[in-house]
Amino acid sequence: MGDKLEIRPAGLLGRLREDGIGSIEGATWYVAEEVGDGLVYYFPRGALAGMNWLTADMLLNGKFLVVFVLSLQEGEGGPTFRMVFGALNQCQARIRVPLEAVNQNRWRYPREGAWLKPMCGGDNVDLSKVDRMTLTVLRKSEEPARWCITPFVATVDEPLKLTKPLLPKGPLLDEFGQSRLHEWATKTRSEKELVERLKLQLEEAAHSRFPESYSRWGGWKELKFEATGFFRIHHDGKRWWLVDPDGYAFWSSGLDCVRPDTDANIEGLKDALSWLPELESQFKAAFHTSFEGHQHFNYLIANFVRAFGPDRWYDCWAKITLSLMRQWGFNTVANWSDWRIASREGFPYVRPLHLQVRHVPYIFRDFPDVFHPDFEQDAEEFAEPLKETAEDPAFIGYFLMNEPTWGFAKQLPAEGMLLATPSCATRLALSDFLRKLYSNSNAALSSAWGIDVTFAEVAEGEWRKPITEAARADLAEFSTLMVKRLYESLSAACKRVDPNHLNLGARYYTVPPDWAVEGMKCFDVFSINCYMERVPADKLRPLSEKLGMPILIGEWHFGALDVGLPASGIGRVANQEERGKAFRVYLETAAAEPWCVGVHYFTLYDQSAIGRFDGENYNIGFLDVCNRPYEPLVEAAKLSHERLYKVASGQLPPYDEPVQYLPKLFL
């Protein structure tokens, strides 16, 4: 079969229909009316074994995001690997799938040009058994999805990246970073309009104040407890509160990403830009290179430079931003932010910590070898940054991490480790755990697991055996021990460096499964990210009671498709007015829950219309790329924050009017 295999569609799925010869050479246009429509491909069993890459070129029509899923399957009904991705509209994309991805040891691969956020899921598959593939629509807007695509090609050698994409409608962004494919009423039309807005915002910044009922920290003047000089947690017999340094009851309403945050990943997309200055110019601060080596350009920074020049833009941005947050009633500079501007101003803030182990390996995705004796050294280095803020009263607390990628896997951490890592200290610990469980008897282990297996095979070596349900039960129990050791080590190291501030947990991407929760009892506050229509009280109330700690929501948002962005975000509503209503429902119904001590909205700014580092391009901000506020959302925030503490204390019912929620459109 050689070092190259062309794979053509064998049939259409659902209501998919062909729509003519594609705009890219060798491509065919297709139209999908519904989610699930797509293409099916067949090839000889094992034809992908020995191949390293799978590639095709695609062009997505229209102006709204379509999310696709590429599936590789071992025969009819067999294990299935899935890769989910999106594409920019009106810009050629090259799909380049490294076939090592089927091992599931990586959640996300780098975005490349118009090919957005490729993410792995589903099963581990054996390429020697794979004989079929599908490409289907996973999410789309109400409009039909139309795209053209070439046949896929499997190769041994790495295919070239696309550097000159086809752009059938010309550049995608204007000189201010706004979409050229869309029109909407609040679009900024000129540099004069932009500059006047920013200068007026700076003038008004001097007059911003928290609501009258707020303490200097944003706490509630009507309810006071013991003051300790730092933020802490307190249960008053009816509900949980945070308590501000002066002793006032505090409920944390925050904005994530309080920073000049509209980065556009322009790697391979410079032809898609109407305007890009020279690097060595007054706009130099708007350029940066990501850790993946991709060049980015931040149009928000460029817009502030236009108004205030290269030397003053940042200070002006910081003054305007904290002023707007006070005006709108937010009392927390939340995760992913430039917390130093908050610290300087005495504005309450949180910090994220970042685990990058140097002394031990990762054993499954981003899970480190926690039973290795050198992991303690990694934990000590992880906690070191907290020294800088250990005595700051404005500092609420720290998140240990965000959405660990091992949490997205179908596989348990112990299971993933067996499949991905032939040798590590944690596998030895698993073997010891099983020896104790089965009285050091290989026969007892084999009988319990329903396969012929030894402790030595568990301890080391390439794992080629099936993992039965009985085995998964034991691996779930050991996964709890892995999670417990991970978080207890990190938490203890942080408390040694900073005993004054709150450990705000690990921001799991959803309500964690029981095996994970059992290992997460060492936090002060339990945090999750929760992109639902409202907080799931039926799940979180018993979780809070079980753990004996309050819960904080680290991320949530709602977006729409009416202001020039290709995607809405994870929560979606009909328009900006509905965004305001959805904001009020979420925040106020959360505040009314006695176990909840805060919700942090993601984010301050919309994302770039051509996508941030990984390709997300959502209307989720309070501000657009030209620093224009979304007024319906702003007014909603003001109304909710004026009544926030009376809702939290039970004096007022939460706002709970009907909202027009729509099917989600996100990557």
In a domain, 80, yes or no: yes
> How open is the CA angle 343-349-354, to the nearest 5 degrees?
100
- Boundary residue ending a domain (130, 155, 180): 155
C-alpha 275/C-alpha 266 separation (Å) is 12
Q: Mind listing the pLDDT tens digit for each residue in 173-229?
A: 999 999 999 999 999 999 999 999 999 999 999 988 999 999 999 999 999 999 999
C-alpha 399/C-alpha 527 separation (Å) is 8
C-alpha 58/C-alpha 89 separation (Å) is 10
Q: Mind listing the pLDDT tens digit for each residue in 117-139?
A: 999 999 999 999 999 999 999 99
Under DSSP, is residue 132 helix (H, G, I), strand (E, B) or coil?
strand
CATH of the domain at 387: 3.20.20.80
Q: Determine whether 407 is exposed, middle or buried from the number of CB atoms within 10 Å of its CB (0-12, 13-18, 19+).
A: buried
Q: In what order do the strands lie in the sheet with 295-298?
A: 263-265, 295-298, 287-289
Q: Determine whether 13 is exposed, middle or buried from the number of CB atoms within 10 Å of its CB (0-12, 13-18, 19+).
A: middle
Which residues span the domain enclosing 75? 4-155
C-alpha 97/C-alpha 83 separation (Å) is 9
Q: Mind listing the pLDDT tens digit for each residue in 136-166?
A: 999 999 999 999 999 999 999 999 999 999 9
Yes or no: say if 254 and 330 are a contact pair by the CB < 8 Å rule.
Answer: yes
pLDDT given for residue 292 in this prediction: 87
Mean pLDDT of 551-555: 98
Give pTM, 2 decimals. Answer: 0.98
Q: How many CB atoms lie within 10 A of CB 576?
A: 20
pLDDT given for residue 291 in this prediction: 87
pLDDT given for residue 24 in this prediction: 98
Mean pLDDT of 540-562: 98
Mean pLDDT score of the chain, rounded to an integer? 98
Backbone angles phi, psi at 481, to 5 degrees: -65, -35
Mean pLDDT of 47-68: 98
In a domain, 420, yes or no: yes
Q: Mind listing the pLDDT tens digit for each residue in 69-87?
A: 999 999 999 999 999 999 9
Taking alpha carbons only, the member of 3, 26, 31, 1 closest to residue 15 is 31
In a domain, 617, yes or no: no
Yes or no: say if 27 and 148 are a contact pair by the CB < 8 Å rule.
Answer: yes
Residues sharing a CB contact under 8 Å with residue 73, sequence separation 6 or more, in sequence order: 79, 80, 81, 125, 130, 131, 132, 133, 134
Residues sharing a CB contact under 8 Å with residue 161, sequence separation 6 or more, in sequence order: 94, 96, 112, 113, 268
Phi and psi based region of residue 14 (left: phi greater than 0; alpha: psi -120 to 50; beta: remaining): left
Q: How many CB atoms lie within 10 A of CB 225?
A: 17
Taking alpha carbons only, the member of 620, 564, 560 closest to residue 172 is 564
Mean pLDDT of 98-107: 97
Q: Mind listing the pLDDT tens digit for each residue in 237-258?
A: 999 999 999 999 999 999 999 9
Q: What is the DSSP string of 366-434?
A: TEE-TTSTTHHHHHHHHHGGGGGGTT-TTEEEEES-SS-GGGG-SS-HHHHHHHH-SB-HHHHHHHHHH
In a domain, 620, yes or no: no
Mean pLDDT of 523-545: 98
Mean pLDDT of 338-351: 98
Taken in order 136, 139, 144, 149, the sign of the CA dihedral is negative
* The residue type at 205: A
Q: Mind listing the pLDDT tens digit for each residue in 398-413?
A: 999 999 999 999 999 9
Helices 631-648 and 576-591, packing angle to 10 deg:
10
Count of residues making up the chain? 667
Is the pLDDT at 334 greater than 80, yes or no? yes
In a domain, 475, yes or no: yes
Mean pLDDT of 330-347: 98
Is the pLDDT at 2 greater than 80, yes or no? no
Q: Mind listing the pLDDT tens digit for each residue in 384-438?
A: 999 999 999 999 999 999 999 999 999 999 999 999 999 999 999 999 999 999 9
Residues sharing a CB contact under 8 Å with residue 594, sequence separation 6 or more, in sequence order: 238, 239, 240
Tokens of 39: 């293409």
Is the pLDDT at 370 greater than 80, yes or no? yes
Mean pLDDT of 267-280: 97
Under DSSP, is residue 509 helix (H, G, I), strand (E, B) or coil?
coil
- Boundary residue ending a domain (496, 528, 555): 555
Yes or no: say if 109 and 150 are a contact pair by the CB < 8 Å rule.
Answer: no
C-alpha 421/C-alpha 2 separation (Å) is 30
Under DSSP, is residue 615 helix (H, G, I), strand (E, B) or coil?
coil
- Boundary residue ending a domain (134, 155, 176): 155
Is the pLDDT at 281 greater than 60, yes or no? yes
Is the pLDDT at 1 greater than 60, yes or no? no
Total domains in the fold of the chain: 2
Under DSSP, is residue 34 helix (H, G, I), strand (E, B) or coil?
coil
C-alpha 526/C-alpha 547 separation (Å) is 8
Mean pLDDT of 536-557: 98
Question: Quick one: which H or E segment has residue 546?
Answer: helix 537-547
CATH of the domain at 93: 2.60.120.430
Q: Mind listing the pLDDT tens digit for each residue in 467-485?
A: 999 999 999 999 999 999 9
Mean pLDDT of 578-587: 98
CA distances from 57 to 51, 81, 161, 472, 566 (A): 18, 21, 11, 40, 20
